[in-house]
Structure 1
C-alpha cells in the first residue's frame, strides 16, 4: 500500500512527514545565478574568458610590434649567453628568454622594429602566448582579490569585467613585452596584501605566514621586472607601518609578541623581496657569461671573466708606449673617449667624452712629456731593442689619442655642462704640445699590491689611478653630466678643481692593454665580487634611466604627459599605420578610464562628508562598515597616488602604458564607490545615531536611505557591465588588430586628440 496515501489500519498520511520536501525544479536562469555564486566556478569562468580574449588572433601580425624590438632582442641575448645592458632589472627579460627557449627560438633573429619574422617560423607566436598567460592571470587574480574587499557579488563581478575588458590591458598583454609580467605581479602583490589583512586576527597562524610570505615573494618578483614595482612595495610598506603602529597601542600585547611582528615583517617584506631581487641578478650574471654589447657598462674586472674578452690576457704591468683604454670606476662610468668632432663652445678644440661602448676611439698611448726622451718609432728596430720604461705612481705623462694623434689636454676654460670644472679636450700632436698636456699619475691602490706607494708600478685592471693635471692641479673626472646632441649625448669629461680623494668618478683603471713586448696576464689574478657587480649595474641602470629625457629639438609622437593619462587624452600607435599592416592602437576603455578617474574625487568627497558628519556626532555607518570603507579606499587611493605621483616629477620621457599599473587602483576605487552607493546596503541599516533599523522601517529625517531592491541592483549592474563590455566590443579591433584602412572603422575617435585616424 502507498505509505503516503495511507496504511492498512485506515489511518492516512502516517508517514508523510518523514519524506523530504521536494523543491520545485529550477529554471536555467536560476541555475546560472547559482553557478555565479560559486567562487571556483567564477574563477574558472574568468580564466577561460581571459584566455579567449588574450590569445585570439595573437599571431595575426608577423612583424615586430613596438617594444618587441627591445625585449625580444634581450631574450635573444640570454639564449646566446651574451652580456647586454638595459635600464630594467633582469627577471622579466629572463622570462622572455625562457619563452623563446620553450618556443624553439635559437636567438638568431635581430628583432628590428617593424621587420617581419622569418617566413615559416612560429616561435614568435609561442613567445607571445607564453607571455600573454601573465595577462590571462590578471583577471582571475582580480576576481579573487575582490573577495577580500567586503563587496557585494555584483561589485566583484564588475572589477573582474573591468580587468577583462579594458582594451589597453588587453593589447599590452599580447606581445613580447615586460608589461604583462609587471601587471600580473602588481595584481598578485595586492592580492597577497588583502588576503594577509583578512588574517590579522589570527597572527602567526599558518595562513597568516603563508600570505605574508606570498606578498614578499610577489614584491620581489614585481621589483625584479621593473622598478615601477617599488611603488606597490611602498603601498605595502605604508600598510605595514600603520598596522604596526596600531599594534603598538595595544597595551595587552606583550613586548615579545610585538617584536615578533616586527621580525616577521622584516623577514617576509624586506629580506625575501631583496633575496628574490639578488637571485635574479645572480642568474643574470651566470647566464650571460659571454662578451656582448653591454660589456662597457660593467667594471673591467667583471668583463675580464666574460668569454670572448681578452682583458685578462692583457699584459699585467703597463709600460710607456702601451696602447690602453681607461675605464672610469664611478658607478655607471664609461670609457675615456675622443673623436674628431670639436666643441661648439669653449675652446672649440677636439671633444673628449666618456663612452659606454667599445670603439677604436677609446684608445690612448702612454707617451713621455716633451722634456724626456721620446719613444722610438713604432715598428722600428730601435723600438724592439730599447729598454722598457714601466709606468709608475707619480710619473708625469701625456696620453695621445690613437685615432687622431692629439693629446689629452685641459686649460682654464669652463667645461660645457659642469661650468665649475675645467674643460678637457684633445690638442696638438707628437711635436706640437705644451704643459697643459701633462698629467701626473696619482695611484690610489692596487688589488694585488695594496695601498699605493711612490714608484709603485701601474697594473692593468687592478690598479685604481687618478690623473692630476700638472698645471691646474685638477683631476680628470667623468660623472653623470650628459653632453647635448652635439656631443652625441655622451658623458662629459672635465677637470675637477676640488681634490676629493674619495670621489670614485675621478678613479680610472686600465681596461684593455696592448703591448707586444710584455707577457700576457692570467685570468686567475682577477676576481670580481658579486655584490660590487650588483651595485655597479644597478647604479648604471639608474643613471641611464634618468638620462631617458626627450630631446628639446625633437617631437616624440608616441610620448605623453602623466596628466594626459587619467582622462585618456591620447593613445599610442604600436606599429606601422600602413593600410596593408595589421595595426594596433594602445587605447583604454573610456568607460573604465573616465569613470575610474571621477571615482577618485567621489571617494575623497564621500570620505570628507562622512568625517564631517562624524564630527557633528552623526553615524551614517557602523564602525565596522566605516572601517571597511576607509580600508578599501586607502588601498585604492594610495595605490593610485603612489604609482601616479612619481611620473609627474620624473624628467624622463613617459608613455601611456606607464599608467597601466596605476589604473588597477583607480578601478578598485571605481568599483568601491559603485558598491558603496548602489550594491551594498551597509549605508541603509543605521540611523543617524548608528542604531540598527529594521529593514522594513525608514526614518525620513534620520539620514537613513531606503535599500535598493535586488531587481534594481541587477538592472544597474547590467547597465554598467553592459556599457563596459559594449565599449570594449566597439574598440576591440584596436587590441586584436585593425586590418585594412583605418578610416573604415568609423566613430573610434572619441577625442580630437586621439591620432587613430591622422
Structure 2
C-alpha cells in the first residue's frame, strides 16, 4: 500500500470533523480546499506543539522495554537452545576460523563485534546445551546484551510507527504494549539468537518508509533522500540477517508499486508527471531500495570472507578451489596426485559413505516383484574396511606406463581388490530407484570381453580444467558411466537386511545434481615413506569475490532447503496466530526451572482476533457500498484502507509465504508478523472508537474565522472527547489483561523462579508440552 501520513505536529495541523486526509500510510484521498486553508490559518495563529504527552509516553515505554529485556539476563549461566550455533559462530569469527551457516553474516557479525569489544578470544565453542559459561570464562552477558538492546529498541520503534502514522496516543500505546509485554519477543531477545536483529531491522524499515512517504510532496529534497536511503539500509539489514527478510522487501515493494502507479495518474491532485519526471521517481526508488541495499548485502559477505581466513569446520561445504583460499587447510595440504594402478578409497562427499562391495549378491526379486541381475552387491559403507579398496585401471591394457597420473575427463576402470572383480553399471533398475541403474561388478574375464564397455567410467573433476590431474581429498569428481551417461550416486536410506542395511549405490540420470560428487579419501597402496607423501610448501590462493559469493550462496540455499527433517518442537504456520505450541529452550532438573518459548496468549489472541475483525470490516464496507450504503466518513475509510491496510499487508507478507515452505518451521518465524498484527490492533482501537484529535483553541478560532460556525465545533469537541475517553478506558482494560498474561507466564520466559507441579499445569492452557508437569 502507498503511504500517507499527517504531519508530525498533529495538534495544530490535524484534520477536523470529517476531514478527508488519511492520517497514515495509504493511497491519497481527495482533499477539501477549505481544510488546507484551515491548517494554514492555524499555523499562522499558533507555534508548533511539542506533543509532550507522546514524548513522555515513548520515554516511559523505552525504559520499560530495557527493564523487561535486561532484567536477570545473566540467568541461566549455561548454553541455551540455539546459542550452541550462534555463540559458536561468534567464536569462529574471533578465531578467524571458516564455518558454514545457512543464514547471511550480518547478525552473526554483530555478536562477534560485541565479543571483540569486551576482549573475548573465542576459545569456547558452545558445543552442548547446558555447558557452563562461568566455568569456561565466557562473557555471555555481553553477547546477550546485543539482542537485548535490539529487542528493547524495537518497542519504541513500534510506538513511533504509530505516532508517525498520525494515530492517537492510546493507539500508539496499545501497539507498543503488545510487543513490550510479549513473552515471545522478550524470550527471543534475551539469548544469543538472530531474531531480535531481524525484527528490529524489519520495524525500522516500516518506520523509515513511512517517514519517506510523508515527504512525497517535496520529492528529491535532502530529507526525502535521507529516509529513502535509510529505508533501503534497513531492508538490507533484514535480509542480511536471515533470508526471510525478503518478506520485508515484498511489503515495501508493494507500497512502492502502488505509489508509482498513483504517480502515473494524469488526474493527480498535484498535477500529472511527465514521463521523464516519472522516470526520475522510478530510478530513485530502484537505487535506494534495490541497488544500494544489494551492495550493503554484498559488503557483509566481503567482511565475512576477509575475517574467516583460516581453515575450519565449514571447509567441507565448499569446493577444493575455495578451500585453497584458506590457510592451514588439511585437505589441500595433504592432497596427493593419483596414479594409475593405485589402490584408492572413494568417499561420497554428502553422506561420507565409502564405495564398497562384498561377495553377496542382489536377491532374485525385490519386495515389489522386480527382478535384479543377481550380480555382486555394490553399496555404500560408512566405516574403513578392506572391501572399500579399488584399483584404478587405465582404459587399455597397453597404457601401463609407470607413474602416469589420472587426469580430468579420462576413461578409467575400477577393480575391486578383495573379490578381483570390475565395477560395472548396466540397464537394470536399482533396488530402490526403478529409474536409476544398478551398480554391480563382473569378473575380470567378462570385463575384457562382452561386458567391456559397461565397465568404462569417466572421471569428471568438478570445475576441472582439461588435463587437470586428479588428487586425493581435494579432487572432487563425478564418476560418469561412459556408455549410459549416468553418474554414480548414493543416499542415506538403508538397504534391507540382505545388504546389511548399507547404502544403495546406483546410476543417477541427473548429472548436474550436486550429490553426485565423490573424492578419493585415501591411497592405501602408497608406502608411508614414499616421496609422494612429502608435503610441499603451499601458498594460499585467492579467488574473485563474486566467485566465492556465488558458491557460498548456492551452498546456503541448498542446505537451507534441505532442513526438512522432523524436530520435536517444530510447528506449522496455522498454529502460530493461535499460539498452539511453543519451544522448550532450557531446563534445570534440580531447581525445576525452565525456559519455554511462548508468546503472551492474551496479546496474541487479541491481535489475531482483530486481524479477522479487520478483514470482516473491509468485507462489510465493500458489501454496503455495493448496496449504496455509505456508513463511513472519508477520513475513517481512507485510514482503514490505507494505513491499517499497509500494516495488514505487512502481516500477510511476513506470514502467508511460510505455507509454501517445506523446511523446518518454529514459532519464532511468526515474530515479524506478530509485530505487524500489533500495529493493526492499535489502528483498529482508534477506528472502533472513532477517535479524532481534540482541537486546541487556536484551531477552533481559525475554523470559526473561515466558516463562521460558532456552535458546531464545541459540540464536535465534546463528542470527540467522549470517544477519546472511551478509547483510554478500553486501553486500560486491555493493558491490564496483557500485563497479567505477561506476568503469569513470566517464570517460563525468564527461567526463574522454579514452578511446582500444580503451577506448571496451571500454565498448560492449550496443552503446552511443559517440563516438570508431573
Structure-2-length-normalised TM-score: 0.77
**Contact 2:592/2:754 (<8 A) preserved:** yes
Q: 1:257 aligns with which of 244, 268, 277?
A: 277
Aligned ranges for residues 24-39 of structure 1 at < 5 Å? 37-39=52-54
Q: CA 1:419–1:607 in 2, change beyond 3 Å: closer, same or farther?
A: same
CA distance in 2, matches of 1:469, 1:327: 17
Moved more, 654-663 or 338-347: 338-347
Please name the residue that 1:19 is paired with.
none
Point out where structure 2 has 5 or more consecutive residues left out of the alignment.
Answer: 1-48, 367-371, 695-708
Aligned to 2:672: 661
Which secondary structure state, in structure 1, belongs to the residue aligned with residue 593 of structure 2? coil
CA deviation after TM superposition for structure 1 residue 150, in Å: 2.4
Q: Which residue of 2 aligns with 1:297?
A: 317
Specify whether residues 142 and 359 from structure 1 end up closer, same or farther in structure 2 by C-alpha distance, changes over 3 A only. Answer: farther
* Inter-partner Cα distance in structure 1 for 2:103 and 2:406: 40
2:745 to 725, 731, 735: 731
Does 2:594 align with 1:609? no
Which residue number corresponds to residue 507 of structure 2?
Answer: 495
Q: What is aligned with 1:44?
A: 59
Q: State the 1:539 CA deviation.
A: 1.8
Alpha carbons of structure 1 residues 359 and 117: separation in structure 2 relative to 1, 3 Å: farther
- Please name the residue that 1:368 is paired with: 393
Structure 1 partner of 2:165: 149
Instruction: Tell me by how many angstroms 1:604 deviates.
Output: 1.0
> Are 1:277 and 2:297 counterparts?
yes
Q: Supply the distance in 2 between the matched residues of 1:187 and 1:152 (Cα, whole angstroms).
A: 19
Show the 5 A alignment for 1:108-147.
108-111=123-126, 112-119=128-135, 121=137, 123-147=139-163
In the TM superposition, residue 509 of structure 1 has moved relative to its aligned partner by 8.8
Structure 1 pair 583–270 and aligned structure 2 pair: CA distance change class (3 A):
same
Question: Separation in 2 of the partners of 1:103 and 1:604?
Answer: 49
Helix, strand or coil for the counterpart of 2:616? helix
Residue 545 of structure 2 is aligned to residue 530 of structure 1: yes
User: Which secondary structure does the structure 2 equivalent of 1:129 belong to?
Assistant: helix
Is residue 540 from structure 1 mapped to residue 562 from structure 2 by the alignment? no
The verdict on how the C-alpha distance between 1:615 and 1:58 changes in structure 2, with shifts beyond 3 A counting, is same
Match of 1:567 among 578, 581, 596: 578
**Which shifted more, 570-579 or 63-72?**
570-579
1:60 to 75, 80, 84: 75
Equivalent in 617, 620, 645 of residue 634 of structure 1: 645
Q: 1:214 to 1:414 in 2, by over 3 A?
A: farther
Cα deviation, 1:219-240, whole Å, max 9, x if unaligned, reads: 1111111111111111111111
Residues 441-497 of structure 1: per-residue CA shift (max 9 Å, x gap): 3668977x6xx4xxx454559999754324x4223166xx96437799999874244
Q: Is the CA contact 1:572–1:585 (under 8 Å) kept in the aligned structure 2?
A: yes
What is the CA-CA distance between 1:741 and the residue it aligns to? 3.9
Within 1, Cα distance between the matches of 2:231 and 2:474? Answer: 42
Residues 176, 435 of structure 1: CA spacing in aligned structure 2 closer, same or farther, 3 A cutoff?
A: farther
Q: Relative to structure 2, which stretch is displaced further, 121-130 or 362-371?
A: 362-371
**Separation of aligned partners in 2, 1:715 and 1:495:** 71
User: Are residue 183 (structure 1) and residue 199 (structure 2) matched?
Assistant: yes
Instruction: Report the CA distance between 1:195 and its aligned residue.
Output: 1.6
Q: 1:695 to 1:126 in 2, by over 3 A?
A: same
Q: CA deviation at 1:183?
A: 1.2
Contact 2:412 2:459 in 1 (8 A): no
**Separation (CA, whole Å) in 2 of partners of 1:645 and 1:403:** 57
Q: Kindly tell me: are residues 246 and 545 of structure 1, through their superposed partners in 2, closer, same or farther at Cα, counting changes over 3 Å? A: same
Q: Per-residue deviation at 1:725?
A: 1.5
Compared CA separation, residues 67 and 367, structure 1 to 2 (3 A): same
Residue 90 of structure 1 pairs with residue 90 of structure 2: no
Give the structure 1 partner of residue 210 of structure 2.
194
Q: Distance in 2 between matches of 1:672 and 1:249?
A: 29
Deviations 1:308-356 (A, max 9, x none): 115555679653246778899xxxx748742669999788934349x9x
State the distance in 1 between where 2:377 and 2:757 align: 54
Q: 1:349 aligns with which of 357, 377, 392?
A: 377
8 Å CA contact retained: 1:296, 1:335: no
- Please give the per-residue CA displacement for 1:666-688, whole angstroms capped at 9, x wherever unaligned: 111112211111262499xxxxx
Q: Is the 8 A contact 1:300 1:511 kept in 2?
A: no
Indicate conservation of the 8 Å contact 2:176/2:678, yes or no.
no
Aligned position for 1:715:
729
Structure 2 equivalent of residue 686 of structure 1: none
The CA deviation at 1:149 is 2.3
Distance 1:392 1:549, change over 3 A: closer
Contact 2:320-2:475 at 8 Å conserved across structures: no
Could you tell me which residue of structure 1 aligns to residue 599 of structure 2? 588
How many residues align? The count is 677
SS at 2:769 equivalent? coil
- 1 CA distance for matches of 2:67 and 2:421? 64
Deviations 1:231-286 (A, max 9, x none): 11111111111111111223620211111111111111111221122111111111
Q: Deviations over 1:545-591 (max 9, x none)?
A: 2221234xxxx431222111111112222112524253111111112
In the alignment, what sits opposite 1:320?
340
Worse-superposed segment, 609-618 or 237-246: 609-618
Q: Is the 8 A contact 1:405 1:430 kept in 2?
A: yes
- Trace 1:357-396 onto structure 2 (pairs within 5 A): 367-368=392-393, 372=397, 387-392=402-407, 395-396=410-411
Contact 1:482 1:490 in 2 (8 A): no
1:549 aligned counterpart, secondary structure: coil
1:359/1:276 CA distance change after superposition, 3 Å: farther
C-alpha distance in 1 between matches for 2:420 and 2:679: 64
1:410 touches 1:495 (CA, 8 Å); kept in 2? yes
Contact 2:311 2:327 in 1 (8 A): yes
For 1:504 and 1:182, how far apart are their aligned partners in 2? Answer: 33
CA displacement at 1:141 relative to structure 2? 1.0
Residue 524 of structure 1 and its aligned partner are, at CA, apart by 6.2
- Secondary structure of the residue aligned to 1:580 is coil
Distance 2:495 2:266 in 1: 63
2:175 equivalent to 1:163: no
- The alignment's TM-score, normalised by the length of structure 1, stands at 0.78
Alignment of 1:680-691 (within 5 A): 680-681=691-692
> 1:420 maps to what in 2?
435
Is the aligned partner of 1:550 residue 2:562? Answer: no
- Is the alpha carbon distance of 1:402 and 1:232 closer, same or farther for their aligned partners in structure 2, counting shifts above 3 Å? farther
Offset at residue 435 of structure 1 (A): 4.8
2:493 pairs with one of 470, 480, 484? 484
SS at match of 2:406: coil
Q: Is the 8 A contact 1:367 1:397 kept in 2?
A: yes
Query: Per-residue CA shift, 1:44-97, capped at 9, x if unaligned?
Result: 322221111111111121111111111111111111111111111111122222
State whether structure 2 residue 232 is matched by structure 1 residue 226.
no
Residue number in structure 2 paired with 1:468:
480
Q: 1:337 to 1:746 in 2, by over 3 A?
A: closer
The higher relative CO (CA closer than 8 Å, separation ≥ 6) is in 2
For 2:477 and 2:546, locate their aligned partners in 1 and report how far apart those are by CA, in whole Å: 22
Give, in whole Å, the separation in 2 of the partners of 1:527 and 1:155. 56
Q: Which runs of 5+ in 1 are unaligned?
A: 1-33, 376-385, 684-691, 699-704
Give the CA RMSD over aligned residues. Answer: 4.2
Comparing 335-344 and 254-263, the one that deviates more: 335-344
Deviations along 1:504-539, whole A, 9 cap, x unmatched? 749869788977555977866955332222122222
- State the 1:421 CA deviation: 2.5
